[in-house]
Amino acid sequence: MALFEQFSLTGKVVLVTGASSGIGAHMARVAAQAGARVVIGARRLDRLEQVSSDIERLGGEVLGVAMDVTDRASVEAAVDAAEARFGVVDVVLNNAGIGNGQRALEISEEDWRSMLSTNLDGVWRVAQCAAQRLVNAGKPGSIINIASILGLRAGSGYSHYSAAKAGVVQLTQSLALDLARNNIRVNAIAPGYFKTEMNDAYFDSEKGQTYIRQTVPMRRLGNLTELEGPFLLLASEAGAFVTGSTIVVDGGHLVSSL
């Protein structure tokens, strides 16, 4: 196989959750450009339609599906629709997530449940559903979970988010172990800060910009293009022996000087 062909996703069916904006929408386009047939899932169907149009304009094949990762029936129905259109999903980008900051003393039972239900249970639910179908079909696969540097180190005001993302890191390792014999690889990407709808108001503010300058060794936010390499590595044959890993993409934020 030629060197760069290893990174191709030609012939693969890629499911991206939370593909209606931000990292998910970007990676769905990247997967299509790498040759995959792409299934994009989220709750906001109007936004999915925009992403679908973009991908079709690029010459890609895409299916938009309604999907709420907190709801098993919704996840199963979305994966059914993906299979009916393109066949068994080979690669999952488990990206759907919410991310509001809240001080620990202000988090209600409902806030906690909502965070864990989306950011941890949702990742497990989609991974398990996709893995069951791969195993039944006797096919190899790759599951990529979007964690966060807040799953590896604490930041104030994010106890529920950090706990969920730390769970994603540990879930990734555990699933990698359980699924290795089925040739299903499970890895995570832990992004540092990238401006998306989740955080744009903060990073557009002077406070947000100062925070980045003072805490990120590279003194800037990440560009979504800088997540493409890790994603393609983990999704493609180039990463055939990589499983249970968490790739940190953060401009050095995690190793910032104490």
Nearest residue to 134 (alpha-carbon basis) of 143, 124, 146: 143
Residue among 161, 193, 202, 211 flagged as catalytic: 161
Is the Cβ of residue 154 or residue 180 nearer to ligand NDP in the bound state?
Answer: 154
Binding mask 57-76 for ligand NDP (x = CB under 6 A): ----------xxxx------
**Is residue 97 involved in binding ligand NDP (CB under 6 A)?**
yes
Is the Cβ of residue 22 or residue 60 nearer to ligand NDP in the bound state?
Answer: 22
**Is residue 196 involved in binding ligand NDP (CB under 6 A)?**
yes
**Is residue 18 involved in binding ligand NDP (CB under 6 A)?**
yes
Nearest residue to 126 (alpha-carbon basis) of 63, 183, 69: 69
Is the Cβ of residue 51 or residue 238 nearer to ligand NDP in the bound state?
Answer: 51
Q: What's the one-letter identity of residue 162?
A: S
Q: Distance between alpha carbon 120 and the CA centroid of its chain, in Å?
A: 12
Is the Cβ of residue 50 or residue 183 nearer to ligand NDP in the bound state?
Answer: 50
What is the 3-state composition of the chain as percent helix, strand, coil, each rounded to the nearest 5? 55, 15, 30
61-66: strand order across its sheet = 61-66, 37-42, 13-17, 91-94, 141-146, 184-191, 246-249
Residue from the set 23, 38, 93, 184 that interacts with ligand NDP by CB under 6 A: 23
Q: Tell me whether residue 161 is one of the annotated catalytic residues.
A: yes
**Is residue 38 involved in binding ligand NDP (CB under 6 A)?**
no
Residue from the set 30, 62, 93, 146 that interacts with ligand NDP by CB under 6 A: 146
Pairwise CA distance, residues 98 & 174, whole Å: 23
Q: Please report how close the Cβ of residue 196 comes to ligand NDP at its closest, in angstroms.
A: 3
Binding piece for ligand NDP, criterion CB under 6 A, among 6-14, 19-27, 105-113, 234-242: 19-27
- The tokens for 29 are 């386009």
Q: What's the one-letter identity of residue 12?
A: K
Determine the 3-state secondary structure of 60 from DSSP.
coil
Is the Cβ of residue 10 or residue 100 nearer to ligand NDP in the bound state?
Answer: 100
| Dihedral sign (CA 160, 207, 188, 255) | negative
What residue ranges bind ligand NDP (CB under 6 A)?
Answer: 17-24, 42-44, 47, 67-70, 95-99, 118, 146, 148, 191, 193-194, 196-199
Q: Which residues are known catalytic residues?
A: 161
